[in-house]
Amino acid sequence: MKKHPLYIIKAGGHLIDDEQQLQLLLDNFAKLPCHNAEGQPVRKILIHGGGKLATRLAEQLGIKQELVEGRRITDAETLKIVTMVYAGYINKNIVATLQALHCNAIGLCGADGNLIQAHKRIHPKIDYGWVGDVDKVNTQLLETLLESTVTPVIAPMTHDQEGHLLNTNADTIAQTIAVSLSARYEVKLVYTFEKEGVLLDFNNEASVIASINSEQFNTLKAEQKIVAGMIPKLENAFTALEQGVNTVIIGKAEKLAKLLEGQAGTTLTHA
């Protein structure tokens, strides 16, 4: 039996900080068709990052913030902040906006319904604090929601089954959920952010790379043409592709429909 389509959309952190851009993404997300050209039902999931609100709130409360290689060190006080902001304020505002757009959504973090189990990150040199690396996704819960035509909106928090919440990278959550559902659905995973796609020149939107494979990625990384936050995003994206996800695309949030049709952004391909 042919798999039904599933769109998994990850909203990048900077979008969360831009009210207008976030609204545009949610408008486009809500308008995605419920059926494809063959009449098959199309399901969708939205996964969001945290933006800068948690950092600003922590600074206002006098809680020092530390980033290592773009990853937030999450001590006990910072964990309280990110939980309130990511799984609370941001998640529920996105859900409320989608409800206003007639998209029946439910907001979740990894602890809800045992959705995402993780373990506290172990690193030989750096103590990341309450940062999690994903172990397992409750696909049965997601499938139940999707087949009930309820759209999950997932915040970047997980849990360790020992009573601890863990701050977890949203790109990794998107990749892991996409892989876990690829056995049941034909998954298109889209990483949306403020750029047109993967760029040869970060400052030139016209330099978007239409398609890229892992060999090309490694070459561009070695030449330092792809740097900083784009590296872990692409690493997650290629992992998803290698582990069974049908299509992975990176591009501008406001072009969501074109991204899904392969008419914009950067499409990842097998080597």
In order along its 271 residues, the chain shows pLDDT tens digits of 689 999 999 998 688 999 999 999 999 999 999 888 888 899 999 999 987 898 899 999 999 888 776 678 999 999 999 999 999 999 999 999 999 999 999 999 999 999 999 999 998 888 999 999 999 999 999 999 999 999 999 999 999 999 999 999 999 999 999 999 999 999 999 999 988 999 988 888 889 999 999 999 999 989 988 877 788 889 989 999 999 999 999 999 999 999 999 999 999 998 7
pLDDT at 107: 98
- The pTM of the full predicted model, rounded to 2 decimals, is 0.94
- By CB atoms closer than 10 A (0-12, 13-18, 19+), residue 132 is buried
pLDDT at 69: 65
Residues 145, 206: contact at Cβ < 8 Å? no
Looking up tokens 């602890």, which residue turns up? 111
> What are the distances in angstroms from CA 196 to CA 39, 87, 192, 248, 266?
30, 28, 9, 15, 8
Q: Dig out the tokens for 269 from the structure.
A: 């391909």
Sketch out the chain's domains with CATH numbers.
4-269 (3.40.1160.10)
Residue whose C-alpha is closest to residue 145's, from 192, 95, 220, 214: 95
Residue 177 φ then ψ, to 5°:
-65, -40
pLDDT at 198: 92
| Integer Cα distance of 32 and 86 in angstroms | 24
